[in-house]
Amino acid sequence: MKKNIFSYKRFFIQSKIFSIGIIGLLIGILSCNSAEESTDISFYYWKTIFKLSENENLALKENHVKNIYIRYFDIDINPNNQKPIPLSPIVYKQKIGNLRVIPVVYIKNKVLLQKNADIEDLAKKTFSYIQQINKQAGITCDEIQIDCDWTMESRNNYLKFIEIFKAISKMRLSATIRLHQIKYYLQTKIPNVDRGVLMYYNMGSIAADTLNSIYEKENAEKYLSSLKNYPLDLDVALPIYSWGVHIRNKRVINLINKANEISFSNDTNFIIQDNHFVLVKNSTIKYGYYFKENDKIKPEIISFNDLNEMANDLSQNLKHKPKEIIFYDLDSSNLNRYRDESQIFKKIINHF
C-alpha cells in the first residue's frame, strides 16, 4: 500500500512539473510571437544636412526608434548633357549613434524614361556614390531603399535597374510603392526587392480647390481593397508633413514647404479665412516667396484624426501586419504640430 501511495505521489509531482513546463513553453512561444509581430516606429530624414535638433533627438528616444531612412541624394537629368546626375547629397554634421541607417535614393521618373539610358552604368554609379558617402561618414549599412514613382513607360528600365543594383550591392533592398502600382501591379509589375514600403500619401492632384492632395479618404478608398492581393510584403509610410499651396487667379503657382495656418497667423499682411484658406491682404515677401494682393494659400496638413483614420483603414486591409511604420518626415516643425497629443506615434501603430 505504501508503495502504491509513493508511486501516486511521484506520478502527481511529475505530472505537475510536466504541466508547469508546458505552460512555461506556451508562454515562451506566445511571448516570441508577440515580439515578432510588434510594429516598430521609424522615420524618414529628408534634409541635406544630418544634424538632429533636441526635439528630433527626443522623438527618436521616446519612440525607441532603431531605424532611420536617410535621403542620400536625388538622381535627375543634367540639362547640359542629358545624362543622370546626383543632386543635393546628404552631409553628415553629426554622428549617427546607435541608429541603423537605411540610405534612400530618389530617382526621378524622367531619368528612367530615357530610351537610351545606360541602366547598368546608372546602377553602378548610384551604389558607388552611396559607398562614398558612407565611408566619409563612417557608416555601414545592410539595406538600401530606392524611391521612384515609375510608370508604364519607365517600367522596364526601373525593373532592370533594381535587378542590377541588387546584384551589385549584395544588400537587402527595399522600394517605395505607390497605391496605383499596387492596384495595377499586373501591368506595372513588382520590383525584385525584399520588401516594399507603401507611400500612403500624395494621393491627389495639387489644385486650387478645397481637397487635400496629401490625404483624401475618398481617393484612398479606391485602392484599399487591392492591398490584400499584392504579393509583396509591405511596410507603411505615413505623412506628418505640411505644405501651403500658393494660388493666384485660381491657378497653383508654388508649393510652400512646411507652411500651415500658424505660419501666417501673426502677420498682418495675411487674413485667415473661415475655410482655412489664407488671403493675402497686402503684397509682401515671406519665406522667400512673393505674395501678391488677393493671392491665396491653401494649407494642407495631416491631423492626428487623419493619421488615426489612415492607420485604421490600412490595418483592416493590409494582407500582413507591417513590421515598421515610417513617418515622413523627422523635422522639428512637423513634430511641433503634434506636441499637444501625447504618445502620438505609439497611438498610431497600436492600430496595427
Give per-residue pLDDT as tens, 326-349.
Answer: 999 999 999 999 988 999 999 999
**Within this chain, do residues 47 and 85 fall inside the same structural domain, yes or no?**
yes
CATH number at residue 198: 3.20.20.80
**Within this chain, do residues 168 and 81 fall inside the same structural domain, yes or no?**
yes
Residue 144: domain span? 40-241+304-349
- Whether 17 shows a pLDDT value over 80: the answer reads no
**Within this chain, do residues 250 and 204 fall inside the same structural domain, yes or no?**
no
% the chain with pLDDT above 90: 84
Mean pLDDT for the chain overall: 91
Within-domain flag for 76: yes
**Within this chain, do residues 264 and 173 fall inside the same structural domain, yes or no?**
no
Residue range 55-101, pLDDT digits in tens: 999 999 999 999 999 999 999 999 999 999 999 999 999 999 999 99
pLDDT at residue number 260: 87
**Within this chain, do residues 285 and 311 fall inside the same structural domain, yes or no?**
no
- Whether 25 shows a pLDDT value over 90: the answer reads no
Residue range 283-320, pLDDT digits in tens: 999 999 999 999 999 999 999 999 999 999 999 999 99
- Whether 256 shows a pLDDT value over 50: the answer reads yes
For 168-178, what is the mean pLDDT?
A: 97
**Within this chain, do residues 274 and 314 fall inside the same structural domain, yes or no?**
no
> Which of 48-57, 82-91, 178-187, 255-264 bottoms out in mean pLDDT, i.e. has the lowest?
255-264
- Whether 261 shows a pLDDT value over 90: the answer reads no
> pLDDT-derived band of residue 37, with 50, 70 and 90 as boundaries?
confident
Residue 182 and residue 273 in contact, taking contact as beta carbons nearer than 8 Å = no
Within-domain flag for 16: no
Within-domain flag for 15: no
Cα 115–Cα 104–Cα 77 angle in degrees, nearest 5: 30
Within-domain flag for 272: yes
**Within this chain, do residues 270 and 320 fall inside the same structural domain, yes or no?**
no
Within-domain flag for 5: no
Within-domain flag for 35: no
Owner of C-alpha cell 502504491: 4
Domains held by the chain: number: 2
> pLDDT-derived band of residue 16, with 50, 70 and 90 as boundaries?
low
**Within this chain, do residues 55 and 109 fall inside the same structural domain, yes or no?**
yes
Q: What is the pTM of this model?
A: 0.89
> Which of 34-43, 134-143, 157-166 bottoms out in mean pLDDT, i.e. has the lowest?
34-43
Within-domain flag for 263: yes
**Within this chain, do residues 172 and 203 fall inside the same structural domain, yes or no?**
yes
Within-domain flag for 32: no
**Within this chain, do residues 53 and 100 fall inside the same structural domain, yes or no?**
yes
pLDDT at residue number 291: 97
**Within this chain, do residues 329 and 272 fall inside the same structural domain, yes or no?**
no
For 265-270, what is the mean pLDDT?
A: 94
**Within this chain, do residues 81 and 132 fall inside the same structural domain, yes or no?**
yes
> pLDDT-derived band of residue 19, with 50, 70 and 90 as boundaries?
low
pLDDT at residue number 210: 87
- Whether 5 shows a pLDDT value over 50: the answer reads no
